[in-house]
Amino acid sequence: MDQQQGSGGGVIGLWVGWMRFYRAFWALAGAYWSAPARWQVWGLLAALVLLTVGQVSIPLLLNVWNKYLFDALEVHAIQRFLWLVGALGLITLYNMAVVSLHLTVKRRLQVGWRSWLTERLLGEWMSPGHHDRVRDLQSEQDNPDGRIAEDVRIATEYAIDLAHSAFYCLLLLASFIQVLWVLSGPADLAFDGFALHLPGHLVWIALAYAGVGTLVGLWLGQPLIRAAEWRQSQEANFRFGLVHARETSLEIAIARTEPEERGRLRGLYRHAVAAWDRQTTALRNLFLFSASWSVLSQGFPFLAAAPRYLARDITLGGMMQAAQALQQTIAALAWPIDNVPRLAEWRASVERVLSLHAALTRLPAPKAAIAVAPGSTPQLAFRDVTVAEPGGAVLLDRFSTEIGPGERVLLVGDPTTAETLVKVVSGVWPWGCGRVELPEGASIFLMPQRPYLPRGSLREAIACPPVAPPADEFALHEAMHQVGLAHLIPRLDERRAWEHTLTPAERQRVGFARLLLQRPHWIFIHHALDALDPAGKAQMLALLARRFPDATVVTIGDDGLLTDFYGRRLVLPPGLTRPANGAAPPPAPNGQRPNGAR
The CA–CA distances, whole Å, from 524 to 504, 513, 551, 559 equal 19, 15, 11, 16
- With a cut of 70, which residues of the chain have pLDDT below it? 1-11, 13-14, 128-142, 185-198, 200, 250-251, 255, 294, 297, 363-368, 391, 468-469, 558-563, 574-598
Assess whether 305 and 436 both reside in one domain: no
Domain housing 423: 371-591
Residue 69 belongs to some domain of the structure: yes
In a domain? residue 4: no
- The one-letter amino acid code at 543 reads L
The single-letter DSSP state of residue 490 is G
410 and 330 both lie in a single domain: no
For the stretch 100-140, pLDDT in tens is 999 999 999 999 999 999 988 888 777 766 666 666 555 45
3-state secondary structure of 37: coil
**Neighbour-count burial of 61, counting CB atoms closer than 10 A to its CB (0-12 exposed, 13-18 middle, 19+ buried):** middle
Q: Are strands 194-198 and 187-191 parallel, antiparallel or unpaired?
A: antiparallel
Q: Where are the beta strands (DSSP E) in 168-211?
A: 187-191, 194-198
Alpha-carbon distance 585 to 386, whole Å? 10
For residue 512, give the CATH number of its domain: 3.40.50.300
pLDDT value of residue 483: 92
In this structure, is residue 597 part of a structural domain? no
**Does an H or E element contain 400, and which?**
strand 394-403
For residue 526, list its beta bridge partners: 556
What pLDDT score does 563 carry?
67
Question: pLDDT tens digit string along 490-531?
Answer: 999 988 888 878 888 999 999 999 999 888 889 988 888 888
The answer to whether residues 331 and 480 belong to one domain is no
**Is 186 found in the same domain as 300?**
yes
CATH number (domain holding residue 123): 1.20.1560.10
If asked whether residues 300 and 419 sit together in one domain, one would say no
Q: Is 350 exposed, middle or buried (0-12, 13-18, 19+ CB in 10 A)?
A: buried
pTM beyond 0.75, yes or no: no
Buried-state track 303-336, b at ≥16 Cβ within 10 A, e below 16: ebbeebbeeeebeebbbbbbbbbbbbbbbbbbbb
